[in-house]
Amino acid sequence: MKSSRLIKLFALLTVLMLVAAACGGGGSETGDTGDKRTNEDVTVSDELNPGGTLRIAGVSDVDYMDPASQYYTVSFFLSRGVFRTLVTYPGNVTDLAAQNELVPDLAESTGQSNEDFTEWSYTIKDGVTYGLKLGGEEVAGVTGEEIVCDDFVYAFERIFTASVGAGYPFYYDIIEGAKEFQAGDADSISGITCDGDKSITFSLSEPAGDWDFRMAMPAASPVPRAAAEKYDKKEDSDYDRHVVATGPYYIAEWTPGEQITLERNEYWDAETDEARLAYPDTVDWKLGFDNDVGVQKIQDNEYDLGLDVSPQGPALEEWVTTPELNERLLQEPSGCTRYLFLNTTIEPFDNQAVREAVNLAIDRENIKRVFGGPTTGPIATSIVPPGIDGHLPSEEFNPFETENMAGDMETAKQMFQEAIGAETWDEPIKLIGASDPPHDRIFESVRSDLEELGFTNIQGKTPKFPNQYTQFYSVPSSETAVGSSAGWCKDYQSAFTFLDPLFHGDNILESGNQNYAELNDPEMNRLIDEAAASPLGEEQTAAWEAANRYATETGVWIPWSWDNDLIAYSSENITNVYYFGFHSQVDWVNIAINSEQ
């Protein structure tokens, strides 16, 4: 019973979408409000009163409790307070760029690498120990024991063990020997070596300048053999139900779909942790809310913080236009791009000029408007969203610029007719959207633009979200020509997490495909490979920018939103609330409860 593995990227995308957040300025007439709350308005403090209960309202459950399997923002959010890693994102830092300067967590310092980034070493701190397992029991021989090198060795062995079902092994399969271990040809992963209990080294088969970021993801947190091995030996591991805490909180209760309760982990030593202040004693996290209901509860101060609950549609309008509410709505870019894609294997979208014409024809301003307006984030003009290495601001790069990005139908029609050598395209094309709002409106906005451009035989279909992905976009045999409800969010601050899975020709699969446009362009592939292999820093940034530029110019995507996250909270009840880029959420481990609550 490993239970559900339903991860919900989909949910994540909805959430993010729902969660639209904000960037905007200027008066309700334009939908832009001059005063929006961002991290810049937050003054953080590390001397607030501990204690109290943080009440979180959420829609979705975690995908897994097992850190190896988790691959979902809601789960990452939880893991921030429950599982520690060698290095992590700093706490109480409001500057988004500075948030990406990793700090040591279980390790004494950030990773030490050799010159070509193929060997990374860490020394584990003294005094870091395991706490209670899920449910609050002690685990003999684990609870209270020091975290040692072998716990990491085991954590990575698990990632490459079939019974575990790891979330993102592809970030770690460059560890030497990982593939052999996975194939069963080796009893251990040769690239991970321990020197005593406290020193660990990773040898990589190819350079990875961003290795520390990968080590800051939950899957890289230590797992004690003594606690997990017996579960992992089953055909389908159920360690999920027995995870042992290392962070300031342990999971006291988990009723799937309903409730997560976290309690203070007495084995956690604040002295060893520079990223988490962990003010509240308890986290009372109620799941399964209907989004609008959750928003209402936060508005009424019955809950302190919305996780994947966020004002949308008319509720968003109310929050933004009511000053008292607007002050309680934290708005920051989320690291997600929403887009339409054009399938390059289907006529006429195999034709670059046609794709360019469609890029010009689509009224992105209207899509943005029916999605909720500027508060939900700026209109995207290229693929990689803000806050990520390789991002290009609109002023700097906008290959398909039109007035307000509302499209230029006349020019587009001309280009289109020239490209196809006819007035209209009468062959059927499949346009797939989704039926749930706002996707239905986006679909209709796009359909109407395509029709006006000259597609006379559009076969539209709007399955229930997220079936547009599972039955159409990710399945080349569905012959989806245009997808109107696609979106993607970063894993970490690198354009790699966008361009490689979504634009690299090697990643086209017959099912579970994510390169929806099925773009297999040698130049594109080369740019991605080169950028991935270049050393971290300016050189890599420039390489990603070039790849981003090229990818956008192919016209296979029509990006239309760089989402904002909109985080609603109760300023009456909690303070120290700032946006935390890694989860696309607030950094709850540093929130303090107001004592009057």
Chain positions 290 to 319 lying near other proteins, rule: CB under 8 A, are 290, 292-293, 296-297, 313-318
Binding residue for other proteins, selected from 370, 419, 508, 546, defined by CB under 8 A: 370
| Residue 438 binding other proteins, by CB under 8 A | yes
Residue-wise DSSP of 313-331: HHHHHHHHHSHHHHTTEEE
Binding residue for other proteins, selected from 90, 167, 248, 377, defined by CB under 8 A: 167
| Residue 474 binding other proteins, by CB under 8 A | yes
Strand 103-104 and strand 119-123: the pairing is: unpaired
Q: Determine the interface stretch with other proteins among 276-284, 287-295, 342-350, 518-526 (rule: CB under 8 A).
A: 287-295
Pick 37 or 297: Cβ nearer other proteins: 297
| Residue 335 binding other proteins, by CB under 8 A | no
| Residue 441 binding other proteins, by CB under 8 A | yes
| Residue 288 binding other proteins, by CB under 8 A | yes
| Residue 520 binding other proteins, by CB under 8 A | no
Pick 153 or 489: Cβ nearer other proteins: 489
| Cβ burial, residue 533 (10 Å; 0-12/13-18/19+) | middle
| Residue 4 binding other proteins, by CB under 8 A | yes
| Residue 114 binding other proteins, by CB under 8 A | no
Three-state DSSP at 85 gives coil
Alpha-helical (H) ranges within 160-299 are 178-183, 211-215, 225-232, 291-299
Q: Determine the interface stretch with other proteins among 25-33, 47-55, 204-212, 556-564 (rule: CB under 8 A).
A: 25-33
Binding track, positions 227-266, relative to other proteins; x by CB under 8 A: ---------x---x--------------xxxx--------
Three-state DSSP at 293 gives helix
Pick 161 or 573: Cβ nearer other proteins: 161
Alpha-helical (H) ranges within 259-312 are 291-299
Distance CA(318)–CA(304), nearest Å, equals: 19
Min dist. Cβ of residue 569 to other proteins (A)? 17
Q: Which two tokens stand for residue 336?
A: 């997600």
| Residue 514 binding other proteins, by CB under 8 A | yes
Distance CA(211)–CA(173), nearest Å, equals: 12
Total number of residues that touch other proteins (CB under 8 A)? 87
Site for other proteins in 43-72 (CB under 8 A): 61, 63, 71-72
Q: Which two tokens stand for residue 331?
A: 């708005």
Binding residue for other proteins, selected from 143, 310, 334, 366, defined by CB under 8 A: 366
Binding residue for other proteins, selected from 242, 447, 490, 504, defined by CB under 8 A: 447
Min dist. Cβ of residue 162 to other proteins (A)? 7
Site for other proteins in 532-571 (CB under 8 A): none
Three-state DSSP at 542 gives helix
Distance CA(385)–CA(336), nearest Å, equals: 6
| Residue 437 binding other proteins, by CB under 8 A | yes
Distance CA(589)–CA(409), nearest Å, equals: 49
Q: Is 190 left (phi over 0), alpha (psi -120 to 50) or beta?
A: alpha
Q: Which long-range contacts (CB under 8 A, 24 or more apart) does 103-110 make?
A: 103/274, 103/275, 104/274, 105/216, 105/273, 105/274, 105/275, 106/147, 106/222, 106/246, 110/212
Residue 147 DSSP symbol: P
Distance CA(305)–CA(359), nearest Å, equals: 38
Min dist. Cβ of residue 146 to other proteins (A)? 32
Q: Determine the interface stretch with other proteins among 2-10, 120-128, 326-334, 377-385 (rule: CB under 8 A).
A: 2-10
**Contact indicator for 238, 1 with CB cutoff of 8 Å:** yes
| Residue 37 binding other proteins, by CB under 8 A | no
Pick 313 or 505: Cβ nearer other proteins: 313
Min dist. Cβ of residue 247 to other proteins (A)? 23
Pick 15 or 44: Cβ nearer other proteins: 15
| Residue 165 binding other proteins, by CB under 8 A | yes
Binding residue for other proteins, selected from 81, 111, 348, 374, defined by CB under 8 A: 374
Dihedral over alpha carbons 452, 458, 463, 467 (to 10 degrees)? -100
| Residue 457 binding other proteins, by CB under 8 A | no
Distance CA(109)–CA(41), nearest Å, equals: 31
Three-state DSSP at 272 gives helix
